[in-house]
Amino acid sequence: MRPNKRDMLVRNALDVFYRDGFHATGMDKLVAETGISKTSMYKHFRTKEELILAVLRLRDERFRNWFCRRVEELAEAPCDRLLAVFDALHEWISSAEFKGCMFIKAVAEYQDPEDPIHIQSATHKQMLQDYVEAIAAQAGAADPEALARQLMLLKEGAIVIAVMMGNEQAATDAKDAARGLITAAGCR
């Protein structure tokens, strides 16, 4: 089925926002880069913020689907899946497309915790944490919620270090640290 203009706009805007940031990307730039007229753009989205929210929903769907599927492909046992989180992360960080986390970028630009863009970004991270917590529970962690929070700190830190320091090994380093946390949590 052929994508409609709205879907094309969201997909193309995702690429532009991911590359250039949200505040640095104006509607004129989006018009120029997406090939969709300003009239058509405003027909689908009343504001740039509405477009950003649609972009974040698409990015969330794409990333979480890939990430969860990839973790499950990399390992069968729950304890191994907790470590596979960092293997999947390493694959993403090592890819040519990697330019950091769109949700971390969004929160940096929309810092008010009540802003819908901030909320959407935090929701993405919470859903990933819930996924890791479910795996930790399956793995028999003494406190799955605490272990998930700790592993997410390592995951998010690896993303930031990879971007700031150009360190493609950040996820591997985080995996080494995670191994100790997983063992201490009593996972089997």
pLDDT tens readout for residues 40-95: 888 999 999 999 999 999 999 999 999 999 999 999 999 999 999 999 999 999 99
DSSP state of 2: P
CA dist 130 and 149 (Å) reads 9
Round to whole Å and give the CA distance between 156 and 77.
23
Instruction: Please tell me the pTM assigned to this model.
Output: 0.93
pLDDT of residue 37: 85
DSSP 187: -
Beta strands in 52-111 (DSSP E): none
DSSP 3: P
Question: What is the amino acid identity at position 163?
Answer: V
pLDDT of residue 81: 98
pLDDT of residue 3: 64
Structure tokens at 118: 């901030």
Percent of the chain with pLDDT over 90: 85
Residue 74 confidence (pLDDT): 98
* Cβ partners under 8 Å of residue 106, min gap 6: 22, 52, 56, 117, 118, 120, 121
Name the residue with tokens 């150009």. Answer: 166
Please check whether residue 38 is in contact with residue 27, taking contact to mean a CB–CB distance below 8 angstroms: yes
Q: What is the pLDDT of residue 172?
A: 97
User: Cβ(89)–Cβ(172) under 8 Å?
Assistant: no
The CATH number of 5-184, from 3.90.245.10, 3.40.50.2300, 3.40.50.720, 1.10.357.10, is 1.10.357.10
User: Tell me, what's the pLDDT at 2?
Assistant: 58
pLDDT at residue 146 in the model: 98
Q: Domain segments of the chain: what residues?
A: 5-184
Contact 8, 43 (CB under 8 A): no
Grouped pLDDT means (10 residues each) for the chain, 188 residues:
79 94 92 86 92 97 97 97 98 95 97 98 98 98 98 98 95 97 94
The C-alpha atoms of residue 151 and residue 136 are separated, in whole angstroms, by 10
